[in-house]
Amino acid sequence: MLNFNYVTDAVSIGLYVLSWVLIGLLVLKIYRRQQVKPRWWKAAVATLAGIVTFTINWELSGELVKIPILPLGVWILYGILKRKEDRWDKYRSFAWLGFASNFVFLAATLISIPLYSLVYPESDAATHIADADNASVVAIHPSGEDGLILDKDRLIDQLPSMDQEKVESDVWYNQMYRKSEGKRNKNERFPYQLIGVSSKWGSGVKPVIYLEDDGKGILITTPDEQSYFRFNQSILQEGMAR
């Protein structure tokens, strides 16, 4: 079953809601077909009980996938209802539907992974910087220069043509170490942070964006990965700090 604690983006939420709508329609279909109908709320409870399962957790592309193995809820409901004649027969279909619902959620999770990448591509900087109207830059390291301000127009104009390059952490560290004359942390490749930007609506991502010392590169950091992009022109300019 989809764990709602991990459902934070528009794609996953949409599929989560559609899954519940499909399950609700199937409950209604089974309910209408039964000759001896239980109370509707008891049918709903039996379905929810059937969802309780023993699962195996598997992480796929940063998404938690739950694979249902044993129908614990069905077994528990059977143990409770079998004591009274015909009671299990009334609720059996709903309980097994609940167990089958886990596979609906599993399918939704698997579909959401490629669909999310299609709607919110990591290789597109505009996914992380969709709104830069309130953007600004702050120095977060002593090697950053004071008095530099962000050229918002140049930032916005260059976003569609940004080139993604490989993140080379070890190479960058060695370069900064040599540039610092062997003194650790004297210089920093990304001494600025870009703040006040918003990611693409519905992405559910709140990245931390670092700006390179030459103003031409940004390092976008999310809980899952880092992406490095280069501008053709620096987005920093001299001016009074705002």
- Dump pLDDT digits (tens) for 84-93: 767 898 999 9
- With tokens 């528990």, the residue in question is 76
Residue type, 162: M
Alpha-carbon dihedral angle through residues 137, 143, 148, 154, given to the nearest 10 degrees? -60
pLDDT of residue 210: 95
State the pLDDT at residue 164: 87
Q: Environment class of residue 115 by beta-carbon count within 10 Å: exposed (0-12), middle (13-18) or buried (19+)?
A: middle
DSSP notation for the chain: ---GGG--SHHHHHHHHHHHHHHHHHHHHHHHH-SSPPPHHHHHHHHHHHH--EEEEEEETTEEEEEEEE-HHHHHHHHHHTTSTTHHHHHHHHHHHHHHHHHHHHHHHHHHHHHHHHHS-TT-GGGT-SB-TT-EEEE-STTSPTTEEE-HHHHHHHGGGPEEE---HHHHHHHHHHHTTT-TTSS-S--EEEES-BPPTT-----EEEE-TTSSEEEEE-SS-EEEEE-SS--EEE----
pLDDT digits (tens, 9 = 90+) for 175-223: 777 776 656 667 788 999 999 999 999 988 889 999 999 999 999 998 8
pLDDT score for 3: 44
The residues of the chain scoring below 50 in pLDDT are: 1-6, 240-242
- pLDDT for residue 188: 84
pLDDT of residue 197: 93
Phi, psi of 196, deg, nearest 5:
80, 15
Instruction: Answer whether 195's CB lies under 8 Å from 181's CB.
Output: no
Tokens 């592309």 correspond to 61
Q: pTM, whole model, 2 decimals?
A: 0.77
